């Protein structure tokens, strides 16, 4: 890695922290980084499988929606540390287009995640009958 001058004081006494991807000035203490220097910058995007609304796949399937139904697999959904409900709430993964339609078309979601989202399994939303939500008394 080629040494860089400090952008704050122009010092040539700089040190690159390879494990974390940032530079620091040994004279003034200024710290800076470039995206290309970040060792995690080129991480792969998370593949969450098919959209629970329209069934499409790809990078736009990136939105998690908490539903007021109990998840098909206990302990794999959403929960709340404030009111203490366990991670048993159903979750849907939707694309950007379906997320935008949710306000005007709440029934756009047809499926929910079965297990963890990264496992890419789906389950029918219509088959979920048990209500699940926060304990309002603890949320004020």
Please tell me the predicted confidence (pLDDT) of residue 46. 82
φ/ψ region of 81 (left if φ > 0, alpha if ψ in -120 to 50, else beta) reads alpha
101, 119, 109: which is closest to 47 by C-alpha? 119
pTM of the model: 0.68
φ/ψ region of 99 (left if φ > 0, alpha if ψ in -120 to 50, else beta) reads alpha
pLDDT digit string (tens) for 70-100? 999 999 999 999 999 999 999 999 999 999 9
pLDDT band, residue 37 (cuts 50/70/90)? low
The domain locations on the chain are 1-43, 61-139
């Amino acid at each position: 890695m080629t040494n860089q001058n400090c952008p704050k004081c122009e010092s040539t006494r700089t040190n690159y922290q390879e494990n974390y991807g940032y530079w620091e000035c040994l004279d003034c203490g200024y710290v800076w980084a470039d995206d290309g220097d970040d060792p995690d910058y080129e991480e792969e995007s998370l593949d969450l499988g098919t959209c629970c609304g329209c069934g499409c796949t790809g990078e736009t399937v990136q939105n998690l929606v908490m539903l007021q139904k109990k998840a098909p697999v206990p302990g794999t959904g959403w929960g709340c540390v404030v009111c203490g409900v366990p991670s048993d709430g159903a979750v849907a993964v939707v694309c950007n287009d379906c997320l935008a339609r949710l306000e005007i078309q709440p029934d756009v979601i047809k499926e929910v995640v079965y297990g963890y989202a990264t496992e890419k399994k789906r389950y029918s939303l219509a088959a979920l009958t048990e209500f699940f939500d926060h304990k309002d008394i603890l949320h004020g």
